[in-house]
Amino acid sequence: MLTRHSLYALPLLLALSPGVWAEDDLSQAREALSKQEDDADTEKALEEVFEAAEENYSLLKQGGVGLNYNFDYSYYGDQRINLVVEPNLDEDGEPTGSSSIRNADVSPAATHTFTNSFTLDYGLFNNLTVSGRLPLVAKFDTEESLTSYALGDLSGTLRWQPWEYIPGTLSKTLFTTFKSKTGDSPYEIDLNKNLSSGSGYYSWSGGISASKVMDPVVLFGSGSYGYNLPVTDLDQVRGSSLLQEVHPGNSLSLSMGFAYSLSYDVSLSVSFQGSYNDETRFRLYTPATGRTTDSVSGSQLSGIMNFALGVRVSPTTIANVNVGFGMTELSPDIILGLSLPIDIEGVKPSAAN
């Protein structure tokens, strides 16, 4: 039987949990791959399962408060191709209908993204927890020599456990998340001078997460569906056209993994997160011709493998370090992360202790 002490050696980190043209397709997919509030947070879930009160719920007790700090780093390496294509002309100087490549320049590009985020959890009831996330984003693009420091997209999550936890069975939690567009939108900035720090649209998502203890192994997973709201009244310059509307595709995500307790002080976990993003439609207006056209970005499938190490640094604090890599072209090449709980015991009401 798993004891309360063995639980603390089982902290888990899930994978760091969706364009008009190629550059925006990449940004869209990469945003979807960053860890979201609706990903299965098994580190919290497992600790709370075994610290649950007599009601046997795995969320925070009513009135309980929790604050966590997360640092995430992701690296995207790419090769950008710049082509100069000129039409072929006949003897009279008229286009023949064919063209030739006059110049082809291949240059390496890299994007570094650093995210510092703070997540505050509060127990409304023993089986209902609300949380809010504040991300601070720093981004660097080596190809364009651009730098950005900005607020990311604020989000709020509601977690509800309608079923009491019974030892030996699955612990199941329903969740829903609303994400704002407080970050710098990729559809409103000057793409030649700025970098985005947010998705650019509001979104809702919901799903279910579950975990099962098979001492000394813990299995966990989650599934969710995301609905992204359209963005209108835009006026962004895109070459010779103006971007007026964006209709983001909806998304499906799945994550799963396991954790193994090596000792009271150390644990290891392995997880996978996959994401499918439906096609996105863009409406562009060309002033020179007066025409409005629609451009469609195809659906995208991406995945990440993640490995995490949990180490007890004090009797009440566990530090989690993770490293991951992308398994598809649009996924991050390198992912690094650090998670630490922040002690705010002094602000908790006595009923929650």
Of residues 142 and 343, more confidence is placed in 142
At residue 46, does pLDDT exceed 90? no
pLDDT at 3 over 80: no
Going by C-beta distance under 8 Å and a sequence separation of 6 or more, which residues neighbour residue 73? 112, 113, 114, 115, 334, 335, 336, 337
Q: What is the pLDDT of residue 132?
A: 97
- What is the pLDDT at residue 202? 97
- For residue 38, the model assigns a pLDDT of 45
H helices of the chain, in order, are 4-7, 22-33, 42-50
pLDDT score, position 53: 34
More confident: 307 or 94? 307
Half-sphere exposure (Cβ direction) of 37: Cα atoms closer than 13 Å:
30
| Lookup: tokens for 267 | 């644990």
Residue with the larger pLDDT of the pair 119 and 82: 119
Q: Is the pLDDT reported for residue 219 higher than 50?
A: yes
Q: What number is the average pLDDT over the span 106-127?
A: 88
Judge whether residue 45 has pLDDT over 60.
Answer: no
Q: Which domains does the chain have, with CATH numbers?
A: 4-352 (2.40.160.40)
**For the chain, what percent of residues have pLDDT higher than 90?**
50
pTM (predicted TM-score)? 0.77
Average pLDDT over residues 67-80: 86
Digit-coded pLDDT (tens) for 152-178: 999 999 999 998 878 788 889 999 999
Q: Give tens-digit pLDDT for 222-241.
A: 999 999 999 999 999 988 89
**pLDDT score of 335 more than 80:** yes
The span from the CA of 277 to the CA of 256, in Å, is 18
Q: CB within 8 A of 125, min separation 6: which ones?
A: 62
- The mean of the pLDDT values for the chain is 80
**pLDDT value of position 97:** 65
